[in-house]
């Protein structure tokens, strides 16, 4: 199933790229961005998914699988990595961090200190460049207005630092929590509520309204104390299932795949609404059904 999902993501994305390069045809398989932060005008691959970020999340799980599998050659890994890079998604950062921790474990250099440092650096490298964009000159283009907040920009050592839509959404969600806790706004009510918050000056007027892009804060903003309880229950349940894995599976490709995938999802959830990414629920389902599957079968995967 994993390989089918991986190739189902890669082939349409590459087809869309080739159609653009050969015939200058912009299809639903790619996204053309103007004034993309740090890169300018770019083409991002999205394939059959809704966004390049969604495609990158599918490919990231696929990369974790491929690295732990002995059945696939380097060409498949290189092609997957190429398509992943061409999404120009921030989701590549937590994947690098997860592989950094995996490298520490494989080389037996892992301990609580080094693992914590790699994890902290990964979170900072993932969140800070996503929430702030640094430019060498003042002013933003028309295309950047829905991404960057010009009103709250500030200067630092000759550079102009602009808060992004991710920062604005996170701060707005925090404000909502303070206002509406313990009830919350209600299911799927964050996006409709942004119009009122704009009128009150609590959300940048030119920033495009969007979902919270933070699984933890966004869930609490919409569901209140019930959302907080749900996050805790889900986290405890996942950790309990991992700790309770059969001893014969520890160190196997299946075990490593699940550990790295869960770690990747938890880091990504800081800047992404991962509850909307349906393929992640398949991983949780597989994790929950492990006790029902014969160990001999899993050891052969």
- For residues 185 and 176, the answer to whether their CB atoms sit within 8 Å is yes
**pLDDT tens per residue across span 173-191:** 999 999 888 899 998 889 8
- The alpha carbon dihedral of 97, 102, 105, 107 has a sign of negative
pLDDT at 294: 59
Q: Which of 52-56, 145-149, 187-191 has the highest mean pLDDT?
A: 52-56
Alpha-carbon distance of 95 to 2, in angstroms, equals 17
Q: What is the CA radius of gyration of the chain?
A: 21
Mean pLDDT of the chain: 87
**pLDDT tens per residue across span 56-73:** 999 999 999 998 876 667
Number of residues that this document lists for the chain: 301
Alpha-carbon distance of 60 to 213, in angstroms, equals 18
- The alpha carbon dihedral of 186, 192, 194, 197 has a sign of negative
Total-model pTM: 0.92
**pLDDT tens per residue across span 191-247:** 888 888 888 877 888 888 888 999 999 999 999 999 999 999 988 888 888 877 777
pLDDT at 113: 84
Spatial CB neighbours of 105, under 8 Å, sequence gap ≥ 6 = none
- For residues 205 and 152, the answer to whether their CB atoms sit within 8 Å is no
């Amino acid at each position: 199933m994993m390989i089918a999902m991986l190739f189902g993501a890669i082939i349409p994305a590459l087809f869309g790229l080739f159609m653009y390069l050969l015939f200058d045809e912009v299809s639903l398989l790619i996204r053309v961005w103007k004034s993309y932060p740090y890169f300018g005008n770019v083409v991002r691959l999205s394939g059959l998914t809704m966004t390049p970020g969604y495609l990158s999340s599918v490919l990231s799980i696929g990369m974790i699988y491929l690295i732990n599998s002995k059945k696939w050659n380097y060409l498949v890994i290189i092609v997957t990595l190429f398509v992943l890079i061409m999404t120009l998604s921030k989701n590549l950062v937590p994947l690098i961090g997860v592989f950094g921790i995996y490298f520490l474990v494989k080389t037996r250099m892992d301990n609580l200190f080094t693992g914590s440092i790699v994890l902290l650096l990964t979170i900072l490298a993932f969140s800070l460049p996503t929430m702030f964009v640094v430019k060498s000159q003042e002013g933003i283009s028309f295309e950047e207005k829905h991404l960057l907040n010009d009103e709250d920009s500030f200067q630092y050592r000759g550079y102009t630092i602009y808060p992004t839509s991710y920062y604005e959404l996170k701060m707005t969600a925090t404000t909502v929590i303070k206002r509406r806790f313990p009830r919350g706004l209600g299911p799927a009510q964050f996006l409709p509520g942004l119009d009122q918050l704009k009128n009150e000056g609590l959300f940048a007027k030119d920033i495009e309204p969007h979902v919270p892009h933070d699984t933890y804060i966004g869930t609490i903003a919409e569901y209140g104390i019930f959302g907080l309880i749900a996050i805790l229950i889900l986290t405890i349940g996942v950790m309990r299932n991992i700790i309770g894995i059969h001893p014969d599976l520890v160190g196997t490709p299946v075990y490593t795949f699940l550990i790295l995938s869960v770690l990747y999802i938890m880091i990504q959830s800081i800047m992404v609404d991962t509850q909307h990414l349906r393929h992640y629920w398949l991983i949780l389902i597989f994790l929950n059904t492990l006790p029902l599957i014969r160990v001999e079968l899993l050891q052969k995967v």
